[in-house]
Structure 1
Amino acid sequence: MSFTIKSLVLYSHDGDQRVVPFRAHGLNIITGKSKTGKSAIIDIVDYCLGRGSFNIAEGFIRKRVAWFGLHLTKDGDEVFVARDNPGPGATTGSKVFIQRGVTDEYPSADNIAKNITAGSLKTFITQYAAISENEHRPESGTRDPLHANISHALFLCFQKQGTIASQDQLFHRMNEDFLPQSMKDTLPYFLGAVGESHFQLLAEFDILRKRLRLLEATEAKRLQTIELSRGRVLRIINDGKRVGLIPSDYQAVDDTVFDYLKRIEGAQVEGHDIIPDFGETIEMLSGEQRTLQRRLSELNQDLRAAKAFLSDQTEFSKEANEQQARLQSIGLYKKDDGDKSVCPICDSKLATPVPAVSELKTSLERVQSQLAAVYKESPHLQAHIVEIEQQIVAATESLKTVQAELRNAMSEDQNARASQNQLIARARFLGKLSDFVEITGPHEGTGDLDEELAEVRKLVAAVQARLNAEETSSRLETILNLIGRKMTDYSTKLDLEHSGSSLRLDLKKLTVVADTEGGPIPLQRMGSGENWVGYHVLALLGIHWWLRKKHRPVPGFLILDQPTQAYYPPDVVEGDLERIGRDSDRRAVQSLFQLMSEACGEIAPDFQLIVLDHAHLRNDWFEDAIVEEWRGENALVPRNWRAL
């Protein structure tokens, strides 16, 4: 069984205690007028059981309470939990105190101090509720696996005032993001559609699947190696053919190729004698070629210069001869008397003076002297040009000889290098062949791998068959049908709009559905607050009937806040039925409490129903169920407690 609440304990800032006791089993009623603290009980219990946020309304309680305590019991195993009040405006506290063992007297405020973290508190309460290791794995793979804990279990244990009268929200906190999906994921575990053996199988399945992946990876690697080896065999054979160690007509047709390659591996590398290196000769001839090329270049420049000079002299001779021919006409002149104003030929007076005959003779003599020098140098210049041309011919022949020798030297050097490269290529091939033969070829032990792989696949299939999702869905559907049948049975005791119809829980939409002759009617389409409250009570009582019947790890209490709110007028002070105007409403309230009382008797001894309400019925069974009545000065927190 799971735990129930033995008492609620509050501590003032001065160390005073306020204890609200509960019966561990059966119906517990706290009745009273509005604004006495009834609705805060759910938030206090939720906070003490590990909820991260502190949601008690701002006001009287936050100002006057220092610590909130909760006394839990389960088969004689008692736990006292206390959490600090973070104060006005705060959202969570940081101090948690736990004491385990039979508690006859609650610790004083001075003896309460933090001894555990809030995160550890949640883990502890999860284990205390007997929630075993579990995991929900979404089939789609788009969400992370979810582990059910005490927070998920408490969705089934609280019905706040706004929830119990809602047509859109059947369970606690289903108006918060992501929580409806968490409810859908964890409810199969809490209802028992998947038990502890399911999670043991999951753990076994994980181990086997991990082993299978490892074996499959080994097998894939082996197959890849075989396939890779075939391609590498062809490449290694082609390499051997290129270096002349394997005949060009050899073909690899079966595994005998590996024996053949081992024989080739043992071959000796034999090649031609190494030919001397021709590098020095080539370098010497190249240098001689460069020298001759420079010499030819210089001779050609000299030849061009000599020919240019000879050409210039020839032009000068032509010009000088023409001048001499013109000056030789001086023989026609008469005797020169030095008078430049008289014509030397006709002795007439000239308007413009002319050169004297002596001056003309001087010019003629100078030109004749220059022509004589040119005629004297021309034979030497011609001889020089002939000499340069002969040197060019000799240098050209020498260059041709050197270039022919250079070509022969380079050709012989290439042949020598090719021979050495062939020798090196064979040596490299044999080294690569040695490595290839060592790591490639038929392997032993493949038979054992195949047998182990087949065996693990059989085990995975067997475990997977036991984890069949369809079987889980079938079990869940059966459980929901049984709960729906119990809800239908309970509904006959209430005067609801679809009372007596076949009721069921719709887990996909988290709602109640009444299957009628006119078709299915979900809670959202049922009218009036009376129906909404009634079907919430029926659904939660039916679920807890199953939980306690199967000893599921959900706390054994259910707290309902204001289930009669649809009948009483606002701000009611007294809870007598006379405060309700209509006879039908009074009968409905009476029937609702009678159902809760009878259900507690049926689900007993492991079920605790705590009802927080205005009502106070004058029946013996109702009076016996009252644990406290908060009217007048009575309330959850004493009025005389000091506020901070």
Structure 2
Amino acid sequence: MTMQIKEIILYNKQGDIRKIPFETGKVNIITGKSKTGKSAIIEIVEYCLGRSEFLVPEGIIRKTVAMYGLKLQFNEKELFIAKSPPEGNNQSQNRVYFEIGKDIKPPELSEITPNSNDEGWIDYLGSFLGISPNLNVPKASESRNPLEANYKHSRLFLFQKQSVIADESILFHRQKEPFMPQTIKDVLPYFLGAVREDHLKLEAELRTTKRELKILKKRQIEAELLSTSGSTKAQNLLDEAKQVGLIEESFYANNQEELIQRLKKALLWKPSGILGIEVSQLEKLREKRAHHLEQLNDIIEQIRAAESYASEASGYSKQGNEQRLRLESIALFNEEPNDESCKCPLCSSILEEKIPKIENMTNSLRRLNTNLQAVVREQPKLRNYIESLENEKEAIKQLVNNYSKSIEALIHEQEVAREIEDLNRRVSRVVGRISLYLENYQEVQEDDELQGKVRATESHIEYLEGLLDQEKKEEILSSILSRISKYMTEWAKELALEHSDAPYRLDIKNLTVIADQEERPIPMNRMGSGENWLGCHLISHLALHKYFIQKNRPVPSFLILDQPTQVYFPPEKYDTMEGDIEELNDEDRKAVKMMFDLLFKVCKELYPNLQIIVLDHANLQDDEFQSALVEKPWRSGRALIPSDWL
């Protein structure tokens, strides 16, 4: 499936549209003076093709363009993609708008709303081009991570910027960036077809099959060990089973078969039932016991208070009786004397001092008798109350004892359950070992079947490794490079490059072009003059694209060359020259003509599957060159940005 550029579409902030149309399957030339925006075209195209970094040069283009668009041709379908520049001082942005259809009319600026991002856009283009799952896994001695080739890697073969196309030290777009040389080396074999399309699937299958073989061999080793020491192992298991009560102590096997049968019978063992004791049940009993203990403490306090009261009442009664006996002495007075003096009832002498009235003493005696009678009356009730409290105390003590016994019983049951659980666990371990032994013992009996599985798995691994053989991959890659070398050598002669009498080839390991002279190979950086470096870039990229197209590889079918004729125009006058071929000397004029003739020739040979876009200063006056011009030369105010946008 070919992918070529139909139009570059720019929007200014007012929504005006600037279109630059291209023809598919042909050479397209944009020529003009310096500083007219030609070199920005590569940055615009790559930005629209999913590169998030915004590298359009500072100046008029950035100030005037509000949206960058690209219309692509996919066989009979068109795909329109648009991206706005980053906001503010940001250096990148990944939001995109795209649509697919036929005869797409670019939407108005106000209608463009992002509907995806660069990551989704790259995945979509990769699937559209037919990039299959792949993974380049480095050798074990190398520390870099595995790399999967995707659509964004194919962009490395689409552009030759002005700073790259005549550089003797680099060959590919972005090759000077960190880690990019190794990335190019890793992905180029896939894009050339040296890696199988189902490589990733086969590698996953190989890893799975190797794991299966490892398991089978482990079982095989175990089976072999069992076959040599089976009787000893079986007897040891029998002894273990007797120790845990799984087999009765009195059992004795007369032969190996009888022993195996008894071990098989042991597999019928079921764990002993364990009475589950809920923690909540034990906690409830403890809570009830605590509650009754509180009641018991309360009753004990009540008894203590009642007994204290009874003791105080008894003391009061004793003291009261003594006082009563003293007061009863007033019975000696028959009447109360009228005068202030009084006779003693014992000796009839006159008492000079006043004494208490007999009536008052009588009243005191009467009250004391009443109180003493009340105390005597309440004593039996108090004793009955204390006795009832004692009875209640004994009843609660009995309840507390009962709960304590229940708690102790539950704790004992828990300990028993743990012992049963421990025993079950020990027996289960023995049963497990017996089961494993019997499974392997069965495999020993069926040794032929296990051996057959091992052999079949080893054979399948050998088959998969053959498909994924690294040496085979190197052989395929070497064959591909040989065909590419054939194209390069032929075109080197047409361009009359230095050392063109020797075969030219692409060196993937060093990412350069080499001329294989008989004396020694000559890499591009040891070839003299910019004309040779330019020629190496052209023949290598044209050869790659020719092979991509012939083998229907998933690489877009266009190549953009920026300022390829720069090596022929005097650098000190380049900015002021008009680019007319008359400004060159005869030798340079001839070389420029040969270069464009080669571009036209290759495009015609591969028509309609290759598009070449040339951004240049030169303006040849022959008909073929002029018919390839996209627009009138960008001079006299004509440029990428229309003058009315300024």
| TM-score, normalised relative to structure 2 | 0.68
SS in 1 for 2:645: coil
Q: In 2 relative to 1, CA 253–203 (structure 1 residues): closer, same or farther, beyond 3 Å?
A: farther
Equivalences for residues 452-471 of structure 1 within 5 A: 452-471=453-472
Equivalent residue for 1:134? 134
Q: In 2 relative to 1, CA 253–60 (structure 1 residues): closer, same or farther, beyond 3 Å?
A: farther
Q: In 2 relative to 1, CA 158–151 (structure 1 residues): closer, same or farther, beyond 3 Å?
A: same
What's the CA shift for 1:182?
1.4
Equivalences for residues 80-229 of structure 1 within 5 A: 80-86=80-86, 89-140=89-140, 142-196=143-197, 198-199=198-199, 202-207=200-205, 209-214=207-212, 216-217=214-215, 219-220=217-218, 223-224=221-222, 227=225
Equivalent residue for 2:78? 78
What is the CA deviation profile of residues 264-310 of structure 1, one whole-angstrom value per residue up to 9, with x for unaligned ones?
999xxxxxxxxxxxxxxxxxxxxxxxxxxxxxxxxxxxxxxxxxxxx
What is the CA deviation profile of residues 328-357 of structure 1, one whole-angstrom value per residue up to 9, with x for unaligned ones?
xxxxxxxxxxxxxxxxxxxxxxxxxxxxxx
Matches of 1:149 and 1:90, distance apart in 2: 26
Equivalences for residues 293-442 of structure 1 within 5 A: 436-441=433-438
2:462 aligned partner, one-letter code: A
Q: In 2 relative to 1, CA 439–155 (structure 1 residues): closer, same or farther, beyond 3 Å?
A: closer
Q: In 2 relative to 1, CA 431–554 (structure 1 residues): closer, same or farther, beyond 3 Å?
A: closer
- 2:612 is aligned with 1:609: yes
Q: In 2 relative to 1, CA 486–246 (structure 1 residues): closer, same or farther, beyond 3 Å?
A: same
What's the CA shift for 1:438?
4.8
What's the CA shift for 1:143?
3.4
Equivalences for residues 510-589 of structure 1 within 5 A: 510-569=511-570, 570-580=574-584, 582-589=585-592
SS in 2 for 1:126: helix
**Do the aligned partners of 2:31 and 2:618 also contact (CA within 8 Å) in 1?**
yes
Matches of 1:144 and 1:43, distance apart in 2: 29
- 2:641 is aligned with 1:637: yes
SS in 2 for 1:175: coil
**Do the aligned partners of 1:215 and 1:449 also contact (CA within 8 Å) in 2?**
no
Question: How many residues end up aligned between the 2 structures?
Answer: 479
What is the CA deviation profile of residues 200-237 of structure 1, one whole-angstrom value per residue up to 9, with x for unaligned ones?
xx414523541441453255257448758868656557
What's the CA shift for 1:467?
2.2
What is the CA deviation profile of residues 115-151 of structure 1, one whole-angstrom value per residue up to 9, with x for unaligned ones?
1122111111222222222222223364333221122
What's the CA shift for 1:96?
0.7
What's the CA shift for 1:500?
2.9
2:77 aligned partner, one-letter code: D
What's the CA shift for 1:111?
1.0
Gaps of 5+ in 1: 267-425
What's the CA shift for 1:612?
0.4
**Do the aligned partners of 1:10 and 1:17 also contact (CA within 8 Å) in 2?**
yes
Q: In 2 relative to 1, CA 29–434 (structure 1 residues): closer, same or farther, beyond 3 Å?
A: closer
2:635 aligned partner, one-letter code: R
Moved more, 491-500 or 238-247: 238-247
Matches of 2:605 and 2:69, distance apart in 1: 30
Equivalent residue for 2:595? 592
Matches of 2:468 and 2:267, distance apart in 1: 56
What's the CA shift for 1:541?
1.1
Moved more, 442-451 or 237-246: 237-246
Q: In 2 relative to 1, CA 554–234 (structure 1 residues): closer, same or farther, beyond 3 Å?
A: same
Q: In 2 relative to 1, CA 152–434 (structure 1 residues): closer, same or farther, beyond 3 Å?
A: closer
Equivalent residue for 1:627? 630
SS in 2 for 1:509: coil
SS in 1 for 2:644: coil
- 2:498 is aligned with 1:500: no
Equivalent residue for 1:66? 66
Q: In 2 relative to 1, CA 215–36 (structure 1 residues): closer, same or farther, beyond 3 Å?
A: same
Matches of 2:610 and 2:19, distance apart in 1: 21
- 2:616 is aligned with 1:618: no
Matches of 1:243 and 1:24, distance apart in 2: 86
What's the CA shift for 1:104?
4.4
Matches of 2:87 and 2:425, distance apart in 1: 83
SS in 2 for 1:97: strand
What is the CA deviation profile of residues 173-199 of structure 1, one whole-angstrom value per residue up to 9, with x for unaligned ones?
111112111111111111122242x43
**Do the aligned partners of 1:96 and 1:117 also contact (CA within 8 Å) in 2?**
yes
What is the CA deviation profile of residues 350-375 of structure 1, one whole-angstrom value per residue up to 9, with x for unaligned ones?
xxxxxxxxxxxxxxxxxxxxxxxxxx
**Do the aligned partners of 1:572 and 1:614 also contact (CA within 8 Å) in 2?**
no
**Do the aligned partners of 1:80 and 1:103 also contact (CA within 8 Å) in 2?**
no
SS in 2 for 1:113: coil
1:636 aligned partner, one-letter code: L
Moved more, 608-617 or 93-102: 93-102
Q: In 2 relative to 1, CA 554–252 (structure 1 residues): closer, same or farther, beyond 3 Å?
A: farther
**Do the aligned partners of 2:78 and 2:104 also contact (CA within 8 Å) in 1?**
no
Equivalent residue for 1:10? 10
Matches of 1:518 and 1:89, distance apart in 2: 55
Matches of 2:202 and 2:479, distance apart in 1: 27
Q: In 2 relative to 1, CA 594–451 (structure 1 residues): closer, same or farther, beyond 3 Å?
A: same
Matches of 1:491 and 1:215, distance apart in 2: 53
User: Which entry has the higher C-alpha Rg, 1 or 2?
Assistant: 1
- 2:474 is aligned with 1:477: no
What's the CA shift for 1:545?
1.5
1:614 aligned partner, one-letter code: H
Matches of 2:210 and 2:483, distance apart in 1: 40
Matches of 2:266 and 2:124, distance apart in 1: 72
Q: In 2 relative to 1, CA 235–513 (structure 1 residues): closer, same or farther, beyond 3 Å?
A: same
SS in 2 for 1:630: coil
**Do the aligned partners of 1:8 and 1:21 also contact (CA within 8 Å) in 2?**
yes
Moved more, 590-599 or 207-216: 207-216
SS in 2 for 1:81: strand
**Do the aligned partners of 2:161 and 2:561 also contact (CA within 8 Å) in 1?**
yes
**Do the aligned partners of 1:155 and 1:172 also contact (CA within 8 Å) in 2?**
yes
Matches of 2:424 and 2:531, distance apart in 1: 97
What is the CA deviation profile of residues 467-515 of structure 1, one whole-angstrom value per residue up to 9, with x for unaligned ones?
2222221111111111111111111122322223210011100100001
Equivalent residue for 2:417? none
Matches of 1:434 and 1:598, distance apart in 2: 82
Matches of 1:183 and 1:609, distance apart in 2: 22
**Do the aligned partners of 2:515 and 2:523 also contact (CA within 8 Å) in 1?**
yes
Q: In 2 relative to 1, CA 219–492 (structure 1 residues): closer, same or farther, beyond 3 Å?
A: closer
| TM-score, normalised relative to structure 1 | 0.68
2:189 aligned partner, one-letter code: P
**Do the aligned partners of 2:223 and 2:441 also contact (CA within 8 Å) in 1?**
no
SS in 2 for 1:213: helix
SS in 1 for 2:19: strand
**Do the aligned partners of 1:489 and 1:500 also contact (CA within 8 Å) in 2?**
no
Equivalent residue for 1:365? none
**Do the aligned partners of 1:63 and 1:88 also contact (CA within 8 Å) in 2?**
no
**Do the aligned partners of 1:219 and 1:449 also contact (CA within 8 Å) in 2?**
no
Matches of 1:213 and 1:85, distance apart in 2: 51
What's the CA shift for 1:105?
2.2
What is the CA deviation profile of residues 521-578 of structure 1, one whole-angstrom value per residue up to 9, with x for unaligned ones?
0011112211111111111111112111222111100000000111113203411012
Q: In 2 relative to 1, CA 454–431 (structure 1 residues): closer, same or farther, beyond 3 Å?
A: closer
Equivalent residue for 1:378? none
